[in-house]
Amino acid sequence: DAGVTQSPTHLIKTRGQHVTLRCSPISGHKSVSWYQQVLGQGPQFIFQYYEKEERGRGNFPDRFSARQFPNYSSELNVNALLLGDSALYLCASSKGFEQFFGPGTRLTVL
Amino acid sequence: QKEVEQDPGPLSVPEGAIVSLNCTYSNSAFQYFMWYRQYSRKGPELLMYTYSSGNKEDGRFTAQVDKSSKYISLFIRDSQPSDSATYLCAMRTDSWGKFQFGAGTQVVVTP
């Protein structure tokens, strides 16, 4: 079975731009979560979606938004990018209480 | 004070030694505990999970949870250079709650 997939792998943007990150969960997993991981820190929770509905939101500004599609894939959108948004963005899918991560999208904001 | 505290290391051990990692937490509502391994510039990989106090063993890995002390541990026996990575603890209050991660401990196993 394929694991969690994310695209793109790497992304370079400039301040003020908008970015869309994509995630496909493991087949059969209906819950998707997004995390931001800054170098040297653990992942920080951004959003959780289940059956296309938002189930949880972390302490991130409204510039961050997400959605889940009928096939359970998900998008994370970030508007008005700041230098501090540079990080590894991780998507995780879960079935039950186990959570499996994708390889991440490395976003660099210049 | 962070909800989950984890020593960032680096922790350097010789090949074959036992690696001992731990996390402390302040929220007594945490019920589900996990350990992830993360290689440089990769996504975290699930190693162990548990939702009760006591020990759980899987191959060379043993996870230990002490809810009364709010303390969890991961032990790696017969460590190998391929075990060199950052180890993250994570916990949640219920099966739907968000995961709270520690900062991760960098482990270096030298041949």
What confidence score (pLDDT) does residue B51 get? 84
Residue B97 clears pLDDT 80, i.e. is over it: no
Confidence of residue A2 (pLDDT cuts 50, 70, 90): confident
Q: Is the pLDDT of residue B74 over 80?
A: yes
Give the residue from A29, A60, A99, A107 with the most B CB atoms within 10 Å of its CB, the best one to mutate: A99
Asked whether the beta carbons of residue A103 and residue B43 sit closer than 8 angstroms, the reply is yes
In degrees, rounded to 5, the angle at the alpha carbon of residue A35 between the alpha carbons of residues A34 and A36 is 135
Q: Is A97 helix (H, G, I), strand (E, B) or coil?
A: coil
What tens digit of pLDDT does each residue of B23-32 get? 999 999 999 9
Please tell me the distance in Å from B83's CA to the nearest CA on chain A: 18
pLDDT digits (tens, 9 = 90+) for A32-43: 999 999 998 999
In sequence order, what DSSP letters do the residues of B48-104 get, joined into one string?
A: EEESSSEEEEETTEEEEEETTTTEEEEEESS--GGG-EEEEEEEESSSSSPPEE---
**Mean pLDDT value across residues B78-94:** 94
Tell me, yes or no, if A5 comes closer than 8 A to chain B by beta carbon.
no
Contacts of A56 in chain B (CB under 8 A): 96-98
Predicted local confidence at residue A21, as pLDDT: 98
**Mean pLDDT throughout A103-109?**
97
Q: What is the pLDDT of residues A46-94, one digit of tens each?
A: 999 999 999 989 999 999 999 999 999 999 999 999 999 999 999 999 8
Q: Is the dihedral of CA B5, A40, A7, B84 positive or negative?
A: negative
Nearest to B103 among A41, A50, A98 (CB): A41
Candidates A47, A97, A105: best to mutate against B (most CBs of B within 10 A) is: A97
> Residues 39..78 of B with a Cβ closer than 8 Å to A: which?
41-46, 49, 51
Residue B41, pLDDT score: 84
Q: What is the pLDDT of residue B9?
A: 87
Over residues B80-91, the mean pLDDT reads: 96
pLDDT of residue A1: 60
pLDDT at residue number B53 = 86
CA–CA separation, B82 and A12 (whole Å): 31
Q: What is the mean pLDDT of residues B36-53?
A: 91
Residues of B in contact with A41 (CB under 8 A): 103-104
pLDDT for B78: 97
Chain B closest CA to A107's CA: distance in Å? 12
